[in-house]
Amino acid sequence: MKKSNFQLLRMIGIFCAFLTVSYAQEVDYQITSINPKNYDELRVEMEKFQGIIENSVAQNLKGTFPILGAPKGSYLEDFGVVFSLEANLYQIRPISPFSPKPHSRKELDEAYQSLLDRVDVLRKSMLLTIAENGTSLRQLRPTDNLAVIVHLFNGYTDPSRRYPSQLIIKIKMDSLSQYSQRKITLEQFSEKVHITHF
């Protein structure tokens, strides 16, 4: 009787082990089939996109040192890719031994208005850059996101004025694909983009 019980328990143990191995193999297959990216190729694509962003900012933002921090991209599982850079949008006469005079109210007003105008130029140019080049990130899935974060350098602090510190643009790769195939217009694409600046 004891021998029969032992054999029964042994058979149950073997069966459970078989089920465990089969399930692990199935789960592993599902993971690799859901996430078939080539990370080496994705890294190359991200490096190229970093250059595209840098060129766009340099071409559209005239002035002294428009880029303070070169674009850097990161891939986040279950999100997509995020690119960040620092841009200098605040342009004003530098105070130096050769020009020690304090900034006048007129200079400050003009520099502030220029800053707001340059934020708008940056937003429009970055939106177009993403629309025209975003699909070059071929290793991303349609459900992945492409986000660009621009940190806005502010060389002057005035508590009476609101200075934006970041411009964030985010879009789904599926929407980029639709625009690339001309299934939607640039205006329709723009409506799908999430833009935040604060």
Give me the residue label for tokens 């502030």.
112
- Residue 161 is predicted with a pLDDT of 84
Q: Express each pLDDT in 3-34 by its tens digit.
A: 454 454 455 454 454 444 444 344 333 333 33
Q: What is the pTM of this model?
A: 0.79
CA dihedral 16→19→23→26, nearest 10 degrees, is 160
Separation of first and last alpha carbons in the chain: 77
36-45, 55-64, 104-113, 166-175: segment of lowest average pLDDT? 36-45
Neighbours of 147 (CB within 10 A): 19
- Of residues 125 and 155, the one with the higher pLDDT is 125
Q: Express each pLDDT in 142-173 by its tens digit.
A: 999 999 999 998 776 677 788 889 999 999 99
Give me the residue label for tokens 């996101």.
145
Could you give the CA distance from residue 110 to residue 2 in angstroms, rounded to a whole number?
A: 95
Write out the DSSP string of 162-177.
Answer: ----EEEEEEEHHHHH
Strand blocks (E) in 77-131: 80-88
Asked whether 150 and 85 are in contact (CB, 8 A), the reply is yes
- Residue 160 is predicted with a pLDDT of 79
Could you give the CA distance from residue 11 to residue 32 in angstroms, rounded to a whole number?
A: 32
- Joined together, the tokens standing for residue 166 give 């970041």
Distances from the Cα of 14 to the Cαs of 8, 139, 184, in angstroms? 10, 41, 57
Domain boundaries, the chain: 1-34, 37-197
